[in-house]
Each structure stands twice: as structure tokens, then as C-alpha cells.
A and B are shown apart, each in its own frame.
Chain A
Amino acid sequence: MPADAQEPTPGSTGGPAPAQVPRTPGSTGGPAPAQVPRTPGSTGGPAAGTAGAPAGVIYDLGYRRYGGVRLGRGHIARSLFLHSLRGSYGIGRGARAKILPFAVLAIMCAPAAVAVVIASQTGTQEIRYDAYPFMFQLLIVIFLAAQAPEMLSRDLRHHVLPLYFSRPLRRDDYALAKLGAMTTALFALIAIPLLVLFAGIAFTLVSKPGELWTETTELVPGLANAGVHALVLAAAGLAISSFASRRAYATGAVAGLYVISQVVADIVRSAPSQAVRERSGLLTPFDLLEGFKQWALRGTAVEEIDIGGAGWLYGLVTVALLVAAVAVLLARYRRVAA
């Protein structure tokens, strides 16, 4: 028995074992392939283990170690953010995954394009930048109800989370990367039509720098308003979606809560009391964010929503909603089983 062909057996306690036959390939006599010692320290280049591999087998090139750079949590969270953001528009997925997000984006841009055409004919601009999310809220809800569950439920439903949490990424990092991706996706959905509108209008105003400046000062709060909408709606949508492992349930929950809150707010708005009417917008997300805009961004009010003197209340509820949604999302991912 060629003892030198035996592999080192770490942890062998060397007990009394006179009758034992160690299981080594070379122990039964005959021309056995030489046992290759393990090479734990080798970095880079093929490991020595394939020295005896038959030539001509293309796929058996031996194991290559990786001795290069390993990025930290920050980089990992950033790649998860980018991966999720691309996924929210179906980029890197099949063609079917692209249909809904890009269709919604196109429909969101259509009114802006029409307004540009009208403005070039008549010289009057019909759509205000900071009213855009309120006017086309249904499209934003469709996008959110479809894509927020998509962003979370795949990993929940197919139990992919243990694979993330067994890597250097932290649970909070995962949740915040997803929140960042959903916020950016919604911001793009709202801001791209605003930029289309601005670019078109600006093209008709090249000879009038004064009016172009006015237009720019209206665009900036419009973009800020888009950002607030994106952040609050993303947090709320993800917080709801994080509890449903099936995408359809989460979609139903997001859309259902929107519709119900809208109906309730409409009923309250028909109340005789002026103070109650002014506070009715607190009950449904887009009215709330419209109120927040009027109060915090000094934006012009849309006809439907009159917040009167209750602006500070809209500010408070908006901030509370955002904080609560983020807290729920983080808590959910701290508790979910790995």
C-alpha cells in the first residue's frame, strides 16, 4: 500500500486502527493516477489539480483562483441599486417585461408632446410642470402597482433573500437599494415628460431669453415636486409590497389602497364644513402630495385641491407617511427569515 499516495487527513486523531484500509485511490494496487496535493494558497492561474487531466477535453481547464479586488458593501449596494433600477424598466429581462413600463412612460410623455405642439401654434402653454403628477396620477399608480411588487416579490417568493444575506450586503442595504431604485424609476417616469415639455417649449422660445428664464424657474419646482412624489410613493409602494410574496396580491394591495383612499377622500370632500374639506386631501396620497407641494414648494394649486390654512398639516402628514413607510420597509427586511 503506497502510503505516500494518501491524502493528508487533517483532524485525524490517529486512533488505534490496525485493521483499517484507508480509502485512497492508489491503495488497491495497479497504476493509479498520482494524487495531487491540495494547494490552498495558490492564487491566480490554474490550480495544480488538473495536471493529470486528459488533453483535448476543452471544458476541463482546471480551477482558477481569484486574487483580485473584492468591493465592499457600498459598491455592492450600488450594483444592486442599478440592477433593480434596470429591472424596473425591464432592461436586462425579456421583451415582455419592458412592455408595461415603457408603455406607461410613453403615455406619460404624450400630453407633454401635445402641449408642445399647441404651444408652437398658439403661443400658450396649457400644462404646468408642478401639476403634472396630479393630472396623470392614474398612470403613476399603474406603474407603481406593477413595478414595486415586481422589485421585491421575486426575491421573496423564490426565497432568493438567503443568497443576498449570506453575502457582505446588510439587510438595510438591500432595502435601501431597492427604495433608491424605485424612487429613481418613478422620478424618471415623472421627470422625463417634464423635460420633454421643457425642451419643446424652449425650442419655441430661443429668440425670447426672458420668457425662457421664466420657463426654467417653473421647471425647477416641477422637478422638485417630481422628486417628492417619487420618494414618498416608492416608500409606500415598497412597504406594502414587502408583505406579499405573490406579485398579484401586492399589485392588488397597492392599487386597492389607492382607489379606496381616493373614494374616502372624495366623500369627505363633500362635507359641509370648510375645515373638513380642506383636510380631506390628507386621506389619499396624490391629494396629500399636491397639498405638500402647495405648502412647501409654494406651487400653484390645482383646481380640485384647496388646502386653505392646513398646509402645515399636509407637510406633517407627508413626512410622517415617508418615515413610517421607510421604517416598515426596514423592519420587514430585518425580520424576514434568511
Chain B
Amino acid sequence: MPLIETERLTKRYPRAVTALDELSVNVEPGVIGLVGANGAGKSTLIKILLGLLEPTSGAARVLDLDVRRDGERIRGLVGYMPEHDCLPPDVSGTEFLIHMGRMSGLPAAVARERAADTLRYVGLHEERYRLIGGYSTGMKQRVKLAQALVHDPRLLLLDEPTNGLDPAGRDAMLQLVRRIGTEFGIAVLVSSHLLGEIERICETLVAIDAGRLLRFAAMTSFTGRRELLAVEVDEGLEELTAALAARGLEPVPDGRGLVVRLTGEDVYDVIRDAVADLRLPLNRLEQRRHGVEELFRDGHPSTEAVGAG
């Protein structure tokens, strides 16, 4: 059974703004990335899938339920994390989660139990008894995620869950999302305007631009080519290139440094050892962050490997 199906889905707002333009996709369960620049129609798509917005034309089904007719049933089975702030500051994380669990139809005792469990899953421990107003941005994002998870949904719709987080917070949130998708067995649709961060956790990628489907593909066809590590040294670039090649990597010159395909965590160690053996001054060693705009670039090496949906 497909998780999400849309058929020529179109949403036009007043004043002739087209948010979605005949979008047709068919997604199987898993961790799904929804990528697009700001204003590409990501939030509109998510709200239509929840039955919160009425599509102008076309059809959409979530968990085999029609968004127009069965919105209420869909909303009972789906958890939604909005992009923007949505938390009252004057209640504790625990109280808020209990209430939101009950609003999803959990009996009172179950809501209490699931609220405690869910806050633990997202990594809020002692803080859960404090008022939300005193939480850090990262903690608030975790509460937002927890309220979407509290009723054990079959599908999570996460709208830009890494918004406003620092790099460490982003990584932690992405790991959490990945864990929900793999260990918890809950299908996840996660939107982002940063392809670079979303490609690390997704199994399927849906890229949209101006409300149209840009690309639809399994992530393996992106990632093998796209996970790159940039290395920069002050001197001895040639020696390093040779040393890395000798160790089985395929360094490619790139500006003032070189890039290596990141095939696993041990690539870091290989580079470190090579640099240390040559006694070179290492300037930079970091993973490349891609912007979604790279998908749009003509002739990008990844394009021919992508099966369009």
C-alpha cells in the first residue's frame, strides 16, 4: 500500500498564487525527504495531506485514505510537527504532552504513560517538569516532535524540524528522525530546504520546485555520489593526493583543496593518518553541505542516475 499518493494535486491561493501545480507522486513507507526552496510548496503539501487545506484540484491519499473525505481519520493516524512555534510557555512539557495525547484520543491514563515515554524517546528528561517557556530552542523542537509522536501515529509529517537549530542541534534532531523511521518503524515525511542535511537520513527523496515535482528517487541514487568530504591543507596538496590514492580513496582536486567521497566513517581516519604521516598543516576537514539548488543545476553528475517518478 502506498503511503502517500497525489494525482495532479493543485493548490491555488487567492491572487493567483499557485502553491502546488499538478503534483503527482506515489511514495512507499520509509523515511521520505521533501526538499524544496522556501516557498516551493512543502508546507502547503503537508497541510493538504493532513486535510487542513482543501486542494483546488486533483486528489491525494494518505495511508489509503482520501484527504477530502477522510481527513478526520487521517488526522487520527498521523502526527504533525509544524514549522513555526506552537507551544504555550506556561505549562510543563509533561502537562502539555498529556493534554495533546488526550486531544489525539488517548484515554487519560494512557496519555500520561505515553507522554512520559515519548518525552524520553526525544531525549527530554528532568526538564520535562519545567515550564516550556524556559526551554532552549532545541528542547522546544523536541517537545514539538514529541507532541506529534505521543499518540503512536503511523505517519509523521515533520515540517522543517531543524529550523532554528545550531549545527549540533540539527544533527541530533536528524538522528532522532532517522531513529523514529528505522527503529520505531513509523513512516516519516520530513521537509527541509537543505538537501545536504536531509539526504543523510532519507530513503526516498521528493524534490519540489514552484509546486512541481522536480525529482523523485530512492536516496541511494543520490548519496553514493553526493556524500563528499572536503580537505584543505596549506601545502603539500600533491603529496596528499598521492597518499590518499595509495590508501584506496579517489581524491579529486577542488579549488584550493580536494574532495573525497565519504563512503564511511573510517574515511576520516584514513585522511587524518595520511595528513599526519606527511606532517602537513591541515586547514579544513568537513562534510560538504549541499543546497537544494544543486539539484537544479544542469549537467550535475547526479542527475543521470536519478529515476524520475
Contact B151 A163 (CB under 8 A): no
Contact B86 A158 (CB under 8 A): yes
Indicate if B263 sits at the interface (CB-CB under 8 A): yes
Contact A162 B86 (CB under 8 A): yes
Indicate if A65 sits at the interface (CB-CB under 8 A): yes
Other-chain contact of A66, B72, B152, B203, B307 (Cβ < 8 Å): B152
B contact residues around A211 at 8 Å (CB): none
Say whether, besides A9-B203, A79-B102, A162-B82, A40 and B50 are in contact (CB < 8 Å).
Answer: no
Other-chain contact of A166, B80, B91, B105 (Cβ < 8 Å): B80
Contact A49 B183 (CB under 8 A): yes
Indicate if A138 sits at the interface (CB-CB under 8 A): no
Interface string of B206-239 (1 = CB under 8 A from A): 0000000000011111011101000000000000
B contact residues around A158 at 8 Å (CB): 85-89
Say whether, besides A65-B152, A165-B52, A80 and B103 are in contact (CB < 8 Å).
Answer: yes
Indicate if B164 sits at the interface (CB-CB under 8 A): no
A81 to B: closest C-beta gap in Å: 11
A contact residues around B82 at 8 Å (CB): 159, 162-163, 166
Indicate if A334 sits at the interface (CB-CB under 8 A): no
In the complex, what residue of chain B is closest to A157 when comparing beta carbons? B88
- Bound-state Cα–Cα, A83 to B100, Å: 11
A contact residues around B264 at 8 Å (CB): 27-28
Contact B107 A69 (CB under 8 A): yes
Contact A9 B30 (CB under 8 A): yes
Interface string of B274-309 (1 = CB under 8 A from A): 000000000000000000000000000000011101
Indicate if B58 sits at the interface (CB-CB under 8 A): no
Say whether, besides A27-B263, A63-B183, A159-B86, A72 and B105 are in contact (CB < 8 Å).
Answer: yes
Contact B220 A17 (CB under 8 A): yes
Indicate if A169 sits at the interface (CB-CB under 8 A): yes
Contact A155 B88 (CB under 8 A): yes
In the complex, what residue of chain B is closest to A97 when comparing beta carbons? B90
Which stretch in A18-26, A305-313, A320-328 binds the other chain? Answer: A18-26
Interface string of A129-170 (1 = CB under 8 A from B): 000000000000000000000000011001110111111111
Indicate if B56 sits at the interface (CB-CB under 8 A): no
Indicate if A15 sits at the interface (CB-CB under 8 A): yes
Indicate if A338 sits at the interface (CB-CB under 8 A): yes
Contact B105 A71 (CB under 8 A): yes
Which stretch in B15-23, B34-42, B117-125, B165-173 binds the other chain? Answer: B117-125
Contact A10 B203 (CB under 8 A): yes
B contact residues around A30 at 8 Å (CB): 266
Interface string of A64-81 (1 = CB under 8 A from B): 111011111101100110
- Bound-state Cα–Cα, A265 to B214, Å: 65
- Bound-state Cα–Cα, A44 to B199, Å: 31
A contact residues around B84 at 8 Å (CB): 159
Q: What is the number of residues of chain B that contact chain A, defined by CB distance less than 8 Å?
A: 70
> Which of B73-110 touch A at CB < 8 Å?
73, 75-76, 78, 80, 82, 84-91, 95, 99-100, 102-108, 110
Contact A70 B221 (CB under 8 A): no
Indicate if A123 sits at the interface (CB-CB under 8 A): no
> Which of B138-162 touch A at CB < 8 Å?
147, 151-152, 154
Contact B104 A62 (CB under 8 A): no
Contact B185 A38 (CB under 8 A): yes
Contact B107 A71 (CB under 8 A): yes
A contact residues around B121 at 8 Å (CB): 63
> Which of A30-72 touch B at CB < 8 Å?
30, 36, 38-40, 42, 47, 49-50, 59, 61-66, 68-72
Query: Chain B: residues with CB nearer than 8 A to chain A?
Result: 27-30, 47, 50, 52-53, 72-73, 75-76, 78, 80, 82, 84-91, 95, 99-100, 102-108, 110, 114, 117, 120-121, 125, 147, 151-152, 154, 180-185, 187, 203-204, 217-221, 223-225, 227, 261, 263-266, 305-307, 309
| A to B CB contacts below 8 Å, 30 in the list | A10-B218, A13-B218, A15-B305, A20-B220, A23-B227, A28-B263, A36-B182, A42-B185, A47-B183, A49-B185, A50-B183, A59-B125, A63-B121, A66-B106, A66-B151, A71-B105, A72-B105, A76-B104, A79-B103, A80-B103, A83-B102, A92-B95, A154-B88, A158-B85, A163-B100, A163-B147, A167-B104, A167-B105, A168-B75, A338-B52
Beyond known contacts A28-B264, A163-B82, A166-B82: 14 more, CB 8 A cutoff = A9-B30, A9-B204, A10-B218, A11-B30, A17-B305, A20-B220, A20-B224, A36-B183, A40-B185, A59-B125, A162-B86, A166-B75, A168-B75, A338-B47
Query: Chain A: residues with CB nearer than 8 A to chain B?
Result: 7, 9-17, 19-23, 27-28, 30, 36, 38-40, 42, 47, 49-50, 59, 61-66, 68-73, 75-76, 79-80, 83, 92-94, 154-155, 158-160, 162-170, 338
